[in-house]
A and B are shown apart, each in its own frame.
Chain A
Amino acid sequence: MTDVAASPGNTNVASATPDTMAWDSRARRVMMIYLPLACFVLILLFPFYWMAITSFKPNAELLNYKEHNPFWISSPTLAHIKHLLFNTAYPTWLKTTMFVAIGSTFLSLFASTLAAYAIERLRFRGSPYVGLGIYLAYLVPPSILFIPLATVIVQFGLFDSPMALILVYPTFLVPFCTWLLIGYFKSIPYELEECALVDGATRLQILRRITLPLAVPGLISAGIFSFTLSWNEFIYALAFIQSGANKTVPVAILTELVTGDVYQWGALMAGSLLGSLPVALFYSLFVDYYVSSLTGAVKE
């Protein structure tokens, strides 16, 4: 009963005599659920722990495992973070990333709210096909698009400008947000809109005064999702931005901080930690919205 080897035998007993219900015994539960769960959590979180602990380690400890236990810090230091904030353009990168993420989030929320409303509520001939078309756009990966998009961006004179990213990110945000919002609009009773129509409200008034306030949870989900996705985006930002000051955090850390043969692991990890914090913080505030939007979009 106490070791794993005994457990398959156990289930056989259970199947032979269903009323013994041996599967719920405590020791078995520990072996079959808690132990694997603990392993999963340990492995999934270890890189973050390692990232965090590296960014507060002084260089002497960082590269000397013989005299210092690598899993702990004996004399924590803020030197790496200080270096990052005052000797590099890190604050500028953070600002640019924030600007791009917020800009593209608002643009895609605006576009996808209107589109979702038209597809789900205005119901015209062919509206399912428009919905399907937008959904298919989600299946086109950025890796196929970045080379021709780079030439389009150059044609528009937007090369090396954060505006290019704000305009391009909606290509993967709009399909996702539209589908999420279609799902939310579906859950709002149509009768509410009919009442408003009878009372003489125009369509846009209905959207603004009735549908949107009821869809706020959906808007928040779509918003935070878009924010995270645009904060994390890499390949477009790498291909379209050249000058150091306009780079987003993920690109800048990789291209500006990785210099020469000796990697400054402390600064690199501090940069990664700081770059991850905004999304992690955002995430911790809205966990439930995240989970529901992730699973909701999959279920659609």
Chain B
Amino acid sequence: MSVTTLPSRGVAVRQPGWIARLLDYKPFLIVMCLAPAIGLLTVFLTYPLGLGVWLAFTDTTIGRRGIYIGLENFQYLWTDPLWWGAVFYSVFYTAIATFGKFALGFWLALLLNNHFPLKSLLRAIVLLPWIVPTVLSALAFWWIYDPQFSIISYLLVDVLGVRSTNIDFLGTPWSARFSLIVANIWRGIPFVAISLLAGLQTISPSLYEAAMLDGASAWQRFRYITFPMMMPILAIVMTFSIIFTFTDFQLVYAITRGGPVNSTHLLATLAFQRGIAGGELGEGAAIAVSMIPFLVFATLFSYFGLARRKWQQGEAND
């Protein structure tokens, strides 16, 4: 900050000619322009990232500087069933939720790509779950999943008469896991749909016309035109989606806080429970650091897995 306020203060004191020349000196200008952004990112992103890795190798707790203990934190996690449970649920949650989001989101994007009245209004409405603070919509889901007064149970038991007892959404491990995944899919559909819709709109209609003249069916048009053309954007959106689903925190923290019997802990919520709530900063940092290999793998897999196919497609066409 001080770097950027310097010139304005200087204008009042020093000769304008000198200042003007300095401000037009390109290297100085570049440094000055980049300083705020790079400074903020270095202090609050790069430095903490390195510090986090360091903390993972110490036994720091809140209020006490830790000492280097090597791999002890990781050795402990390796034997900790809760950490393995969190790893399992994080992978499971990410896999199912990403699949659901992309299947439904792609479908919604294809639907929105048609012409119908009030299209822009509908597009605006669809994005709403993504705009509203996640915790607040998560609270709404918590209320929808209430064991006694769940509206879904009411519909199934009293209106449709399909079941005789209320569903205990958050009371048993597996139903709680799937309830959270449904809430995550609900929240993720709009982002996927709107991003993919933007991709769909860049596909030239003449491709479809040509395919239709050649007698391609709707499925063939989707399989051989829409899908390959969407690959680059799918790769990017999916990379983002996987990263932010795997490291999700808000939904789980708001709805179950990891319960029942720790069955719905994601790595992020476990890290919070151990690191901030429990005060074991070193162990919490180790859990957070243990997410990095998964993230790198998921990113490389989704990005290169999808991008390579697009690239092969391009090569085959040439």
Q: Interface of A with B (CB < 8 Å)?
A: 11-12, 14-16, 18, 23, 33-34, 36-37, 40-41, 43-45, 47-48, 50-51, 54, 62-63, 65, 70, 107, 110-112, 114-115, 117-119, 122, 124, 130, 134, 137, 139-152, 167-168, 170-171, 174-175, 178, 202-204, 228, 231-232, 234-235, 238-239, 249-251, 253-254, 265, 268-269, 271-272, 275-276, 279-280, 283-284, 287, 290-291, 294-295, 298-299
| Residue from B48, B120, B233, B244 having most chain A Cβ neighbours under 10 A | B48
State A41–B189 Cα separation when bound (angstroms).
11
B124 → chain A closest CB, angstroms: 4
Chain B residues near A137: list those with CB within 8 A.
Answer: 41, 45-46
State A146–B269 Cα separation when bound (angstroms).
11
> Given contacts A111-B37, A141-B243, A146-B276, are A12 and B217 in contact (CB under 8 A)?
yes
Chain A residues near B69: list those with CB within 8 A.
Answer: none
> Given contacts A33-B114, A137-B41, A234-B250, are A291 and B194 in contact (CB under 8 A)?
yes
Binding site of B, secondary structure by majority: helix, strand, loop or mixed?
helix
- 0/1 interface trace, chain B 199-215, chain A, CB 8 Å (1 if under): 10000000000001111
Query: Is B77 in contact with chain A by the CB < 8 A criterion?
Result: no
Chain B residues near A117: list those with CB within 8 A.
Answer: 33
Residues of B227-284 at the interface with A, using a CB-CB cut-off of 8 Å, are: 233, 236-237, 239-240, 243-244, 247-250, 253-254, 267-268, 271-272, 275-276, 281, 284
Pair B215/A15 contact, Cβ less than 8 Å: yes
Pair B131/A228 contact, Cβ less than 8 Å: yes
Pair A18/B218 contact, Cβ less than 8 Å: no
Q: Interface of B with A (CB < 8 Å)?
A: 4, 20, 23-24, 26-27, 29-30, 32-34, 36-38, 40-41, 43-49, 51-52, 55, 60, 104, 107-108, 111-112, 114, 116, 120, 122-129, 131-137, 139-141, 143-144, 146, 148-149, 151, 154, 158, 186, 189-191, 194-195, 197-199, 212-220, 233, 236-237, 239-240, 243-244, 247-250, 253-254, 267-268, 271-272, 275-276, 281, 284-285, 288-289, 291-292, 295, 299
State A174–B51 Cα separation when bound (angstroms).
21
A254 → chain B closest CB, angstroms: 6
State A69–B129 Cα separation when bound (angstroms).
26
Chain A residues near B111: list those with CB within 8 A.
Answer: 33, 36-37, 40
| Residue from B122, B128, B191, B219 having most chain A Cβ neighbours under 10 A | B128
